[in-house]
Amino acid sequence: VSTNKKTIILFSDDFDKAMAAFLIANGAAAMGDEVTIFFTFWGIDLIRKPSKVKTKGKTLLQKMFGMMMPRGPGKLGLSKMNFGGIGVRLMKVCMRHVNAMSMEDLVATAREQGVKFVACTLSMDILGFKKEELLDGIDFMGVAGYLAEADEANVNLFI
Amino acid sequence: VSTNKKTIILFSDDFDKAMAAFLIANGAAAMGDEVTIFFTFWGIDLIRKPSKVKTKGKTLLQKMFGMMMPRGPGKLGLSKMNFGGIGVRLMKVCMRHVNAMSMEDLVATAREQGVKFVACTLSMDILGFKKEELLDGIDFMGVAGYLAEADEANVNLFI
Amino acid sequence: VSTNKKTIILFSDDFDKAMAAFLIANGAAAMGDEVTIFFTFWGIDLIRKPSKVKTKGKTLLQKMFGMMMPRGPGKLGLSKMNFGGIGVRLMKVCMRHVNAMSMEDLVATAREQGVKFVACTLSMDILGFKKEELLDGIDFMGVAGYLAEADEANVNLFI
């Protein structure tokens, strides 16, 4: 266990929770820490490509989940007071007002800073996501991979 | 602090979050780690017996909470897109399609692998749950018990 | 990393989640641990003064968020089964029945026990909260401050 490694399981695709996750990840990376984010379940939405990718072998239900789940950081909603998408729009206005980074920029910055992006393979299997639908250059791991990383880190959050 | 012990506070009774908790717990146990899950607040639902147990000394309100809260891993809903129970049913279809373990099997496997199940006594007091309503052979602890375990672990998650 | 320091990021302003956070914080403080709670995003609501404070320089949207977000620990709702505030009232009845501490007392006790309260400055900027609207005597930090504290702690939770 060293103090220069952090892991975050990003389970949620709520705009506000994802923002918290990326702010912590980017802050730690800026301070020289190794950071790994495990995108699991709804969190997979953060690493979806923004436009539809043709895939084979999905069941009808998997297609349906895929259609209903947001594609990428630009489509997320707030965990509270979202009001069908109005809340998140107003929140984005508030963020621009103080020159806070957008969700898209937070994700891009994380990649630039070398934060390791890992997609949970079981979530992908269940929800039917294919590698080509997700950001290029990410890693793919199951729970054993997560635990191996967490054992080397001193801060492990579930968001 | 050793790298072979993990604790998870399972606060939520959402199907998807509980699934994440048990996958991590079972994965860690399979790798030889000691794992303790603290079932607190809504999380208590995961360790309720599936059928009604006659109890004494509950207030009307506690009976009401008990009736409205799901009994056991088979009755949970999704944290998002549940649509009155339709969402979780469709998710279960997706899980069976890829031969993922059911929630009931995840709980059973955790017990078989020796994951320590602890019910939060304050949550039980507040919500009126009696020991005989919960799974047999589990432990009962307050926050001091949790902290003692967390101090020995290297990964401590709140789900 | 020592076993006598804990940090909690309180992101949520749900009554039940905040209760869990303060019970853990107070329990750890009672056992002699140093505890820091980072109030971020909705969690800021926990440290708002209960009555309106006149402020300058808020945008209309920030005023709106401020009006809609609960002021202090007495105004929170449950994360589930809240039913427009009925759920949390009934939960409070259940808590009084077993002499559990109220949310207000949990916060007060945390302060008395020396739990360090830190408001996330970025959340304050975005949502427009001013220092004079929050409890007196708290600290203000960004993500770097959080990470510095987390690196010294052995249990770091995100709630």
Pick from B69, B78, B126 the residue to mutate for testing the C interface (most C CBs within 10 Å).
B126
pLDDT at position B121 over 90: yes
Q: Is the pLDDT of residue B45 over 90?
A: yes
Residues C70, C76 contacting (CB under 8 angstroms): yes
pLDDT for res A2: 76
Chains that touch C (3 or more CB pairs under 8 A): A, B
Q: Is the Cβ pair C156, A159 closer than 8 Å? A: no
Q: Is B60 on the interface with C (CB under 8 A)?
A: no
pLDDT of residue C65: 95
B-chain residues near A125 (CB < 8 A) = 98, 100
Q: Is residue A94 within 8 Å of C65, Cβ to Cβ?
A: yes
pLDDT digits (tens, 9 = 90+) for A74-95: 999 999 999 999 999 999 999 9
- What CA–CA distance (Å, rounded) separates C85 from C76? 8
Q: Inform me whether the C-beta atom of residue A86 falls under 8 Å from chain C C-beta atoms.
A: no
Residues B54-111 pLDDT 10s: 999 999 999 999 999 999 999 999 999 999 999 999 999 999 999 999 999 999 999 9
Note which residues in 22-41 of chain B have CB less than 8 A from chain A: 23-24, 26-28, 31, 33
The model's pTM is: 0.98
The average pLDDT across C124-137 equals: 97
Residue of C nearest to B125 (CA): C98
Contact, A51 vs A136, CB < 8 A? no
Q: Does B16 touch chain A (CB under 8 A)?
A: yes
- Residue C94: its pLDDT value, please? 95
Round the average pLDDT of chain C to a whole number and report it: 97
Average pLDDT over residues B5-13: 98
Q: How many CB atoms lie within 10 A of CB B127?
A: 22
Q: Average model confidence (pLDDT) for chain A?
A: 97
Q: Which residues pair with C48 in a beta bridge?
A: C134
Residue of B127, B150, B157 with shortest CB distance to C94:
B127
- Residue of C41, C122, C156 with shortest CB distance to A157: C156
Candidates C86, C115, C94; CA nearest to C10 is C115
Q: What is the pLDDT of residue B154?
A: 97
Contact criterion met (CB < 8 Å) for A158 and B159:
yes
Q: Which tens digit of pLDDT belongs to each residue from A89-126?
A: 999 999 999 999 999 999 999 999 999 999 999 999 99
Helix axes C60-68, A86-97, angle to 10 degrees: 130
- Which pLDDT value is given to residue B3? 87
The per-residue pLDDT of chain B, averaged, comes to: 97
Pairing of β B139-141 and β B155-158? unpaired
Over residues C125-143, the mean pLDDT reads 97
C-chain residue closest to B145, CA distance: C27
Percent of chain C surpassing pLDDT 70: 99
- Quote the tokens at residue C127: 């949502």
pLDDT average, residue stretch C76-87: 96
Q: Supply the pLDDT for residue B117.
A: 98
| pLDDT (0 to 100) of residue A3 | 87
Q: Residue B50's CB: how many other CB atoms inside 10 A?
A: 11
pLDDT at residue A1 tops 80: no
